[in-house]
Structure 1
Amino acid sequence: MTLRVDIWSDIACPWCFIGKRRFEAALAGFAHRDDVRVTWRSYQLDPSLPERYEGSEQEYLASVKGMSSEQVGQMLGTVSEQARTVGLEYDWDRLVPANSLRAHLLLHLAAGTGGVDVGAVKDDLLSAHFLRGEAISDPEVLVAVGGRHGLSEEAVRTAMEDDRLHAEVLGDFNTARSIGVTGVPFFVLEDKYAISGAQPTELFAQALQKVWEEAHPAPRNFITLDSDGDAPACGPEGCD
């Protein structure tokens, strides 16, 4: 029996990258990790964001959150500190604010293509956005990412206009709304337990163990108490 984990996240979400690293660290130390099936679900923090915002990440955040430049700088500083704890060095100056819809289409293409590690594609997209300063809405960037994971240029370009993949992405958005997701990352284990946010690795590890034990209860081990010699008893062939 597998343990199902659905993860809603956005490529344009710094905490989603941190949460991914923390969850994967917990999974790496989980005894039954080979029996865990992870499904990456799509979510957009800002569907109205243009394909490419004409300005910096700091300017974008200040405009949408109504914060001062100083407040945005403090917020990004806090995020950067947490990112470093999982080996990530965010480059806010190079980051290109861009709509993430096409990146989600690439992820759904990867999920429907046999032999492709969707988690690795997700990692590559997050790295493109937060570490390499690439526009995740740019088809050329997506073709390059897809190519590194065995997806052809034709398949990636076709995916950008694929109605079926669009429907799948929108389906993830709608499911998120229906279960009350208001922020990401958001983890759902076995459709029963939810974990919101980039929680510590230890919490993810505890959740995996708890859900596994509930699904696979340990057999009862009785200690037999008996006097010297066999006591009278009944069995399939009769009674003593």
Structure 2
Amino acid sequence: MTEPRVPRLSVDIVSDVMCPWCIIGWLKFRQVMDYFAGRLDFRIQWHPFELNPDMPPEGEDAGSHVMRKYGIGPEQSRANTGRLASLAGELGFAFNRGPDFRMRNSFDAHRLLTWAGAIEEPEQEGPTGVQTALKLALFAAHFTDNRDVSDHGVLADVAASVGLDRDRAVGILASGEFGDMVRTEEAYWADQNITGVPAFILGGRMLIPGAQDPEAFIRVIENKVLAATV
């Protein structure tokens, strides 16, 4: 007897690899995917958003950047950093923000992610593929290993670490390829009133902003996705 087909749910995630809440939001959403295992076939696609599109090539000290951008003092900045690190740690991700931790320009990282998202993976099993693997590797490179993910050599190495062709990555980075696609996507999501990240779009129509707890996603999916399939 043929088993009934599991409904498929597309999940578009607009995010920036510079955003700590984006990795936290993803780790929470993984719990949602586990909760619906066997009942929904998730398909994940990542989309670009730059928190700091004018960030210079040398980057900026993270502490100074946060204090300047949000108008807070050193004590509040340290408290916020500690809160993020604690929450990430509870979800199994390490923030190792040392004294030299810097915010970086993420445009070239988005170009590689756009490339990875365009690669056909006919044998892909499960909700994620090489694009998600690259995204998570970039999060780890930036937040855990304090690597400069605007550096082309670092980006090529990270791409190779998830099985992508390093030479092809080097060529993309050197040529500016996929840059127009990134800009087009960024403009599209801005037109959709995405002004902060992470932003999760379920089924192409249901927007859930921010790093919500799993229960928020579960309610929406049960009431608006699974209920419609009954």
Residue 34 (structure 1) shift: 5.9
Larger radius of gyration: 1
Asked if residue 51 in structure 1 is aligned to residue 64 in structure 2, the reply is no
- Distance (Å, rounded) in 2 between the aligned partners of 1:150 and 1:187: 26
AA aligned to 2:131 is V
Within the candidate set 47, 57, 72, 1:41 is matched to: 47
| Aligned partners of 1:26 and 1:201 also within 8 Å | yes
The equivalences for 1:1-240 within 5 A come to: 2-32=8-38, 35-54=41-60, 56-93=61-98, 94-115=100-121, 117-162=130-175, 165-216=178-229, 218=230
| Aligned partners of 1:19 and 1:198 also within 8 Å | yes
Number of the residue aligned with 1:228: none
| Aligned partners of 1:189 and 1:211 also within 8 Å | no
AA aligned to 2:165 is S
Residue 164 (structure 1) shift: 5.2
Task: Give 4+ residue runs of structure 1 displaced > 3 Å after superposition.
Answer: 31-34, 161-164
- Distance (Å, rounded) in 2 between the aligned partners of 1:185 and 1:143: 25
**1:145 to 1:33, Cα distance in 2 relative to 1, 3 A:** farther
Number of the residue aligned with 2:124: none
TM (norm. structure 1) is 0.83
| Aligned partners of 2:25 and 2:198 also within 8 Å | yes
Residue 202 (structure 1) shift: 2.1
Q: Decide which moves more: 169-178 or 180-189.
A: 169-178
Residue 25 (structure 1) shift: 1.6
| Aligned partners of 2:67 and 2:73 also within 8 Å | yes
Unmatched tracts of structure 2, length 5 or more: 1-6, 122-128
SS at 2:109's partner residue? helix
TM (norm. structure 2) is 0.86
- Give the aligned length: 216
- Distance (Å, rounded) in 1 between the aligned partners of 2:153 and 2:40: 34
AA aligned to 1:95 is F
**1:2 to 1:163, Cα distance in 2 relative to 1, 3 A:** farther
Residue 90 (structure 1) shift: 0.8
Deviations 1:143-188 (A, max 9, x none): 1111112222221122224555112211221122111111100001
AA aligned to 1:144 is D
Q: Percent identity?
A: 29
**1:34 to 1:121, Cα distance in 2 relative to 1, 3 A:** farther
Unmatched tracts of structure 1, length 5 or more: 219-240
